[in-house]
């Protein structure tokens, strides 16, 4: 950190950030305090931060109980500039990422199994959460962040930091179910929705060797979908799609948060197929259970991924040359970008150049 951009007070460090001062207000430039670098912490000079749809939900308090002022951002890519005395995994100069969580209980069955995202006590979110000292966490729309090395991952050299940032949420959220349900050669995988999550699902499933079909409302993004690695592309607004594809897929990954007619989508699965939801509507959905009884089908959900699996995903993406498709923006365009995300007007992820904060 240079003294020009930061000042230290009472052991914490003041750094620039973009924050929503309240649920109804646009984001604006401000400063926040970062904790001192503890024994197991790394200080990260944030280079890029992706804009995830859930940033908008939370900054506008769509899920309630938001902590304001709020600094969103859980797709963080940067470089380590300081390490605590007990840090063993990282050194100054390492390229690193931070995703949706910065801590968890570390003791429960799930934490011990590397499934920290499903911590029984709840993981500690990168922002809009309280850390173990009861202090609010602030996310990646900022120039620096202090994170425990155990919740920090390495970004391989082969991946540029700007296109790597969205992998920390959009990448792992789609990689995890694809890996868990064994997407690969000989498997037919459908991806519902071609947005920030969907475009990564297509790239990753294709790289895993699966035969990939995009199911989108219209054929508007068909050319993109095929370029990203899809083998087939169908419009769900066309009823003939559901007739033609009946009983086709081993796995359907739904990335949309709009309520879907689940019975219709489940009819697209083969026997023993699974439909996994990584997006969810705010209201409960209904389902005729015969849709899963006939064909021994699974309706499932999946949330981000554990730390070990996030590292595995980054290594996989580097090996296969996969980054997100991004539109790089300056920080003063964040509010505009939010409106464009809500209008589905982005191909496929906004990434903030944090040097402009």
Closest CA to 347 of 196, 151, 148, 164: 196
- Secondary structure (3-state) at 269: strand
Q: Which of 17, 49, 54, 161 binds Zn ion (CB under 5 A)?
A: 54
Q: Which of 1, 23, 25, 105 binds Zn ion (CB under 5 A)?
A: 105
**Residue 76 or 262: which CB sits closer to Zn ion?**
76
User: Shortest approach of Zn ion to residue 274 CB, angstroms?
Assistant: 22
Produce one character per residue of 14-31: b if its CB has 16 or more CB atoms within 10 Å, e if not: bbbbbbbeeeeeebeeee
User: Shortest approach of Zn ion to residue 105 CB, angstroms?
Assistant: 3
Cβ contacts of residue 102 below 8 Å, gap of 6+?
A: 124, 125, 126, 131, 137, 147, 148, 151
104 forms part of the interface with Zn ion (CB under 5 A): yes
**Residue 105 or 219: which CB sits closer to Zn ion?**
105
128 forms part of the interface with Zn ion (CB under 5 A): no
**What does the alpha-carbon distance between residue 243 and residue 46 come to, in Å, rounded to a whole number?**
48
**What does the alpha-carbon distance between residue 352 and residue 29 come to, in Å, rounded to a whole number?**
13
**What does the alpha-carbon distance between residue 214 and residue 252 come to, in Å, rounded to a whole number?**
10
153 forms part of the interface with Zn ion (CB under 5 A): no
The piece of 63-71, 164-172, 291-299, 313-321 that touches Zn ion (CB under 5 A) is 164-172
**Residue 52 or 313: which CB sits closer to Zn ion?**
52
Counting residues that bind Zn ion (by CB under 5 A) gives: 8
108 forms part of the interface with Zn ion (CB under 5 A): yes
Task: Report whether 188 contacts 215 (CB < 8 A).
Answer: no
Q: Exposed/middle/buried for 78, CB within 10 Å: 0-12, 13-18, 19+?
A: buried
Task: Report whether 98 contacts 151 (CB < 8 A).
Answer: yes
**Residue 111 or 299: which CB sits closer to Zn ion?**
111
56 forms part of the interface with Zn ion (CB under 5 A): no
User: Shortest approach of Zn ion to residue 149 CB, angstroms?
Assistant: 18
165 forms part of the interface with Zn ion (CB under 5 A): no
Binding positions for Zn ion, rule: CB under 5 A: 52, 54, 104-105, 108, 111, 119, 169
């Amino acid at each position: 950190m240079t003294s020009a951009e930061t000042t230290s007070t009472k052991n914490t460090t003041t750094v620039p950030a973009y924050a929503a001062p309240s649920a109804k207000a646009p984001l604006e430039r401000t400063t926040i305090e970062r904790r001192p670098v503890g024994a197991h912490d790394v200080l990260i000079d944030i280079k890029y931060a992706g804009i995830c749809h859930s940033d908008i939900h939370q900054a506008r308090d769509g899920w309630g109980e938001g902590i304001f002022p709020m600094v969103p951002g859980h797709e963080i890519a940067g470089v380590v500039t300081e390490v605590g005395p007990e840090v063993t995994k990282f050194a100054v100069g390492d390229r690193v990422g931070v995703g949706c969580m910065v801590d968890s209980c570390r003791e429960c069955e799930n934490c011990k199994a590397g499934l920290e995202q499903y911590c029984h006590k709840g993981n500690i979110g990168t922002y809009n959460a309280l850390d173990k000292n009861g202090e609010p966490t602030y996310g990646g729309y900022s120039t620096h962040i202090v994170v425990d090395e155990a919740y920090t991952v390495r970004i391989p050299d082969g991946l540029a930091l700007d296109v790597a940032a969205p992998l920390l949420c959009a990448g792992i959220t789609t990689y995890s179910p694809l890996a868990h349900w064994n997407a690969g050669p000989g498997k037919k995988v459908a991806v519902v929705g071609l947005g920030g999550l969907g475009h990564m699902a297509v790239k990753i499933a294709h790289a895993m060797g699966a035969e990939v079909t995009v199911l989108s409302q219209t054929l508007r993004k068909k050319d993109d979908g095929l370029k990203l690695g899809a083998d087939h592309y169908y419009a769900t607004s066309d009823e003939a799609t559901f007739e033609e594809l009946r009983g086709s897929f081993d796995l359907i990954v739904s990335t949309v948060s709009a309520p879907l007619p689940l019975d219709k989508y489940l009819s697209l699965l083969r026997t023993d197929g699974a439909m996994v939801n990584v997006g969810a509507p705010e209201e409960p959905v209904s389902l005729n259970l015969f849709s899963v009884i006939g064909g021994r089908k699974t309706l499932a959900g999946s949330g981000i991924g554990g730390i070990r699996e996030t590292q595995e995903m980054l290594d996989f993406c580097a090996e296969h040359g996969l980054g997100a498709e991004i539109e790089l923006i300056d920080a003063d365009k964040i509010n505009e970008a939010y409106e464009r995300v809500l209008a589905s007007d982005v191909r496929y992820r906004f990434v903030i150049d944090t040097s402009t904060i």
